[in-house]
Amino acid sequence: MTSRPGVPAPVVEMRGITVERSGVRVLDDVDLVLRPGEVHALMGENGAGKSTLIGALTGTLPILAGTVVVDGAASPPTSVAQSRADGIATVFQETHLSPHLTVAENVMIGHEVRGWFGIDWGRTRARASAALAALGIEDIDPRAPLSALSPATKQLVAVARAIVLEPRVLVLDEPTSSLDADEAARLLGVVRRLCDQGVAVLFVSHFLEQVFEVSDRMTVLRGGRVVAEFRTADVERAEVISKMLGEDIDALQALHSQRLAHHYAATGEPTLRAAALGRQGVLEPTDLELSRGEVVGLAGLRGSGRTELARLMSGAERADRGELWLDGVRVQLRSPSAALRSRIAMSSENVRTDGIVAGLTVRENIVLALQALRGWSRPLSRGEQDAVVDTYLDALHLSSDDLDRPAGELSGGTQQKVLLARLLATRPHVLILDEPTRGIDIAAKLEIQRRVARLAGEGVAVVFISSQLEEVVRLADRIVVLKDREKIGELSNGPGVTVDTIVEMIAAELDEPDPGA
Amino acid sequence: MASPADKPNIRQVAQLAGVSHMTVSRVLNDHPNIREATRRRVEEAIEELGYRPNMTARALATQRTRRIGVLVESAATFGPTSTLYAVESAARASGYVVTSVLLRAGEEITPQEGVDHLVAQGIDALCVVAPRSSSIAALRRIAVGVPVLVVKPDKDPTFLTVTVDQQAGTVLAVDHLVSLGHRDILHLAGPLDWLDARTRERSFHARAKSWGLRERPIVVGDWTADFAYDFARGIRELPEYTAIFAANDDMAVGLVHGLHDRGFSVPDDVSVVGFDDIPLARHVIPPLTTVRQNFHALGVSVVDVLRSAIEEQEIPTVTKIPAELVARASSAPPRKVGG
């Protein structure tokens, strides 16, 4: 292997990697080359083989065929310990950390500095601080309990833990999925810094923009095979997406082109009307009207009040000021189930903890809300259940094989679809979706987006919240912009509106207060 | 480039001569309006201190090109064109020439290239007209080396600014409609990455709120009459709002045309107010009520500020040109709602 000038010799070369699981070929003849100082993104939908390839690299999965060459020496990692000895470290989700231990303990666990009398905590903490400093996050107190930190900081601690052993290869698997834009930007900054220090980074993320921001090169997997390798600077987003989906990107563009048409304000009595609705310390008094057949996007950064507004409108949180009117009648929503009885349904931001009941089957999860609405004393018969479930199975492309599996075993995308089916089964007039497409693959995302567009066509008033502004712009008829717990404006979607429009509205500040105010 | 501390500087000369450093500067540059006695005092102080003007500064001072570079974004629209025209006229009246570079969407000229092009010609100052936030961001990363003035609505930590008072102009438009009785007004905004569009939109929002007007989603346009025409043409039924405030006259004219073709009357069904006062505004049917931007005053102010900066004199502090409302026939009391 001769190295060309300007291209450093690879630190990892995987060639012809083939992996089978229960007789099914899940990776087929895959090549992956990681170079020092490069961020290499691994792209693909759920089930494309990303996790399997990481498993093959880090020694957690046996390889059927192929070679893994580390630093020019064939050294197939046969165990996690072996791969770690080869200088390959993996950052797991922050959930793998121990909330009750301190930052230093979490960073150093398993690598504590030992002295005469056991662990030398002073030096252990010093090593931990050094690792944090190397990441530019020395402002984190190594003595703080992990539970006191934000999800983003926890994720950074997880990175610190991975780099304690000064790996030459760092694997990051969906490190930003629970972070908002600012937090993700900080983590990406850390990734770049490690990369500049000569670490080879393998980066897996669903967030296209982050991949484009941070990566130098990308490998796209589909169905266990490599379908493309790109230099990031040379490729268009649409091309990457079409490679991942393996289908024409017409579907994407069809949804996209909806917003090329003008949207006109709905007229007549709104279905749901919030008048100066608010809650002390949570949301300033806010006016909002929802009409049947429109999709209203709530846009803003995390903490802007977008989730809070949704919660106040759906009974998940009690308003302490203002009024809520439903079809011209004033209502007080004391709980989400009271809202559901008024035909207002909301999906929560955190589907995994608040939404899906992991131990129940998909079928049971789908009929849950409908059953609750009807009262537990009148259980739905199997026939009624089947009728409900069948309706949404096709509509959301759920597999009937999954129906009797525990929902917890399914991918995030499938869980989201199950949750949507559950809400739809209650035939809501107002449907509030908070981050319904977060962290799920593009195909599932498109299905949910299409379904949302159709719901509006069927006369439902849909509120759609997403931190991905592109998605809001693509789907919404009207966009409500929030900032610092206050609604700062509304946009009719149309040909003049782009992601930038929303960004600029949030960025704008008036020099002086309105003289008449 | 800073001269060592032990070298006498212009301020020491000024102190010894008992004049301001600007007077010293004028003497050095053979400014005509200096009394002979003052000139002599300054020259004596220079001799006594052995003061040598900083050569770099001196070169800049004496080799002035008397040229102002102007970077104009999308000069196809009325506001930027008029501003360029006004700056050019005012500059000429002050003995300066103007060289301009037009940045147009879809053309491969970056702000950096535009600035490079102007600097290569030798300019004493740079004026940026109708900027978008992206160009401001790019401009911040460029070391221009001469005073930079941006025609934009809000103050800036880095750049000199001059503007027609966008906020006051918007307030005039809203107040005009409110005083006619309108309580439900649609805003047709310009692209919000244009700082003027953004300020007009934010000012509209704030003023509408303080009047307690019906909160209604804005429509974002692209400054063109075509856009506004298409929008108005597609309106399905007589809208609930009774007035539209358009962020520029081009769009207001497009609205008047589109509403007419759609079968609605301006101002009987819907009042329309624009911004700019383009020459055609008074010839549209009906003649357009609008907010007049005094581009001539803007140009004069731009050149005043830039000259002061070039000549290191005190910068005039009043850099907001008042706007005025021109009420014509496109605005009237609202139709009776429900009647």
Mean residue pLDDT of chain A comes to 82
Over residues A318-330, the pLDDT tens digits come to 999 999 999 999 9
| pLDDT value at residue B174 | 97
State the nearest Cα–Cα gap between B194 and chain A, in angstroms: 9
Of B209, B215, B218, the CB nearest to A491: B218
Cβ B192–A501 below 8 Å, yes or no? Answer: yes
- The secondary structure of residue A308, as a DSSP letter, is H
Highest mean pLDDT of the ranges A422-431, B33-42, B152-161, B320-329: B320-329
The predicted structure's pLDDT at residue B110 = 80
C-alpha distance from residue A359 to each of A284, A348, B316 (Å) = 38, 18, 72
Give tens-digit pLDDT for B180-189.
Answer: 999 999 999 9
Query: Helix, strand, or coil here: B193?
Result: coil
Least Cα separation, residue A500 to chain B (angstroms)? 7
Q: Which two tokens stand for residue A183?
A: 């937090």
One-letter amino acid of B228: A
Strand arrangement, sheet containing B97-103: B97-103, B67-73, B125-129, B148-151, B160-164, B320-321
Which tens digits make up the pLDDT trace of A210-232?
Answer: 888 899 999 999 888 999 998 88
| Contact at CB, B219 and A496, closer than 8 angstroms | yes
| Residue A491 distance to chain B (closest CA, Å) | 5
Neighbouring residues of A259: CB distance < 8 A, sequence distance ≥ 6: A473, A474, A493, A494, A495, A497
- B160 to chain A, minimum CA–CA distance in Å? 15
- Is the model's pLDDT at B210 over the cut of 90? yes
Q: Which two tokens stand for residue B287?
A: 């003649």
Write down the pLDDT at residue A94.
57
Q: Give pLDDT, residue B63.
A: 64
Show residues of chain A in contact with B167, CB under 8 Å: 510-512, 514
As given in the structure block, the two tokens for residue A220 are 């796209």
Within 8 A of B222 by CB-CB distance, chain A residues are: 495-496
Residue A393 to residues A270, A294, A365, A396, A460, Cα–Cα distance (Å): 31, 24, 13, 6, 20
Backbone angles phi, psi at A326, to 5 degrees: -115, 120
Nearest CA in chain B to A502: B192
| Model pLDDT, residue A386 | 85
**Contact residues on chain B for A514, CB-CB shorter than 8 A:** 167, 171, 203, 206-207, 209-210
**Interacting residues of B286 by C-beta distance below 8 A, sequence separation 6+:** B256, B266, B267, B328, B329, B330
pLDDT in tens, A89-129: 888 665 577 888 888 888 887 777 777 777 788 888 888 88
A478 touches chain B (CB under 8 A): yes
Which stretches within A46-145 are classed as H helix? 50-58, 80-85, 103-108, 121-134
pTM attached to this predicted model = 0.66
Mean pLDDT of the region A161-180: 82
A333: CB partners within 8 A, 6+ apart: A313, A314, A315, A324, A339, A342, A344
Q: How confident is the model over A407-419, as a mean pLDDT?
A: 80
| Angstroms from B29 CA to nearest CA on chain A | 39
Q: How confident is the model at residue B247 (pLDDT cuts 50, 70, 90)?
A: very high
pLDDT bracket for residue B1 (50, 70, 90) = very low
Using pLDDT thresholds of 50, 70 and 90, give the confidence band for residue B242: very high
Q: SS3 of A119, please?
A: strand
Residues in chain B within 8 Å Cβ distance of A264: 234-236, 239
Distance CA B250, CA B129 (A): 18
The CA-CA-CA angle for residues B231, B203, A301, to 5°, reads: 85
Interface test with A, best of B219, B231, B250 (most A CBs within 10 A): B219
Over residues B90-95, mean pLDDT: 92
B192 has a pLDDT exceeding 50: yes
The residue ranking higher by pLDDT, A76 or A357, is A357
Q: Which of A288, A501, A509 should we substitute to test contact with B (largest number of B Cβ atoms within 10 Å)? A: A501
Mean pLDDT of chain B: 87
Residues 6+ apart with CB under 8 A from A29: A16, A17, A18, A66, A225
The Cβ of residue A92 has, within 10 Å, a number of other Cβ atoms equal to: 16
Single out the residue of A150, A217, A228 nearest to residue A186, CA to CA: A150
pLDDT tier at B238 (50, 70, 90 boundaries)?
Answer: very high
Q: Which two tokens stand for residue A11?
A: 């630190």
A389 pLDDT band (50/70/90 cuts)?
confident
Is the ipTM above a cut-off of 0.90?
A: no
Beta bridge partners of A321: A278
* A264: contact with B, CB 8 A cutoff: yes
Query: What is the rounded CA–CA span in Å between residue B162 and residue B147?
Result: 13
For residues A20-25, give the mean pLDDT: 78
Residue from B167, B178, B220, B226 to probe the interface with A (highest A Cβ count within 10 Å): B220
**Chain A partners of B203 at a C-beta cutoff of 8 Å?**
510, 514
Contacts with B214 from chain A: Cβ below 8 Å: none
- DSSP assignment of B303-319 equals HHHHHHHHTTPPPPS--
Top-confidence range, A300-309, A334-343, B320-329: B320-329
Helix (H, G, I), strand (E, B) or coil at A58: helix
> How confident is the model over A52-84, as pLDDT tens digits?
899 888 888 888 889 888 887 776 656 767 777
Residue B13 CA, chain-centre distance (Å), reads 38
Answer whether A287 sits within 8 Å of B215, measured CB to CB: yes
**Chain A residues with beta carbon closer than 8 angstroms to that of B210:** 514, 516-517
Which residues 6+ apart lie within 8 Å of A64 measured at CB?
A18, A19, A20
Closest to A170 measured CA to CA, from A180, A158, A182: A158
Set of chain A residues whose Cβ sits within 8 Å of the Cβ of B191: 496, 501
Backbone φ and ψ for A434, nearest 5 degrees, come out as -100, 110
Residue type, A173: D
Alpha-carbon distance values, A436 to A48, A417, B84 (Å): 22, 9, 49
**How confident is the model over B255-283, as a mean pLDDT?**
96
Q: Do A479 and B218 make contact, defined as CB atoms within 8 angstroms?
A: no
Q: At what angle do helices A362-374 and A412-424 cross, to 10 degrees?
A: 30
Chain B residues touching A267 at Cβ < 8 A:
237, 239-240
Residue A341: Cβ-neighbour burial (10 angstroms; 0-12, 13-18, 19+): middle
The CA distance from B321 to B299, in Å, is: 10
Assign B90 a pLDDT band (cuts: 50, 70, 90): very high
Say if residues A164 and A111 touch (Cβ distance below 8 Å): yes
Tell me whether the omega of the peptide bond preceding residue B8 falls within 30 degrees of 0, making it cis.
no
Burial B190-202 (b: 16+ CB within 10 A, else e): bbbbbbbbbbbbb
First to last CA, chain B: 75
Percent of chain B with pLDDT over 90: 55
The 10s digit of each residue's pLDDT in A101-111 is 888 888 887 77
Q: What is the DSSP string of A329-391?
A: EEE---SHHHHHHTTEEEE-S-IIIII--TTSBHHHHHHHHHHHHH-TTSPPPHHHHHHHHHH
Asked which of A36-40, A252-256, B151-155 is least confident by mean pLDDT, the reply is A252-256
CB < 8 Å to A515, chain B: 168, 171
| pLDDT tens by residue, A129-152 | 888 887 777 788 888 888 888 777
In this predicted structure, the answer to whether residue B177 has a pLDDT above a threshold of 90 is: yes
Q: Alpha-carbon distance B58 to B27, whole Å?
A: 12
Most confident of the following: A376-390, A469-483, B93-107, B223-237: B223-237
Select from B301, B297, B231, B296 the least CA-distant residue to B261.
B231
pLDDT (0 to 100) of residue B339: 41
Q: Which of residues 279-298 of A touch B (CB under 8 A)?
A: 287
**Band of residue A335 on the pLDDT scale cut at 50, 70, 90:** confident
pLDDT for position B184: 96
- Contact predicate B233/B261, CB 8 Å: yes
The residue with tokens 């009117």 is: A325
Give residue A236's pLDDT.
67
CB pairs under 8 A between A and B: 98
pLDDT at A177: 67
Residue B233 has pLDDT above 90, yes or no: yes
- CB hemisphere CA count around B311 (13 angstroms): 22
Q: What is the per-residue pLDDT across B18-76, written as a single tens digit (0 to 9) for each?
A: 888 778 877 777 676 778 888 888 888 888 887 776 645 554 555 678 899 999 987 66
Instruction: Report which DSSP code applies to A402.
Output: G
A490 → closest Cβ in B167, B207, B216: B216
Structure tokens given for A469: 């502004």
Return d(Cα A173, Cα A91) in angstroms, integer.
7
Q: Which residue of A has its CA nearest to B194?
A: A504
**Residue percentage of chain A with pLDDT more than 90:** 24
Please name the member of B201, B205, B220 whose beta carbon is closest to the beta carbon of A497.
B220
Average pLDDT, integer, range A180-209: 84
Q: Inspect the interface and report whether the beta carbons of B201 and A488 lie closer than 8 Å.
A: no
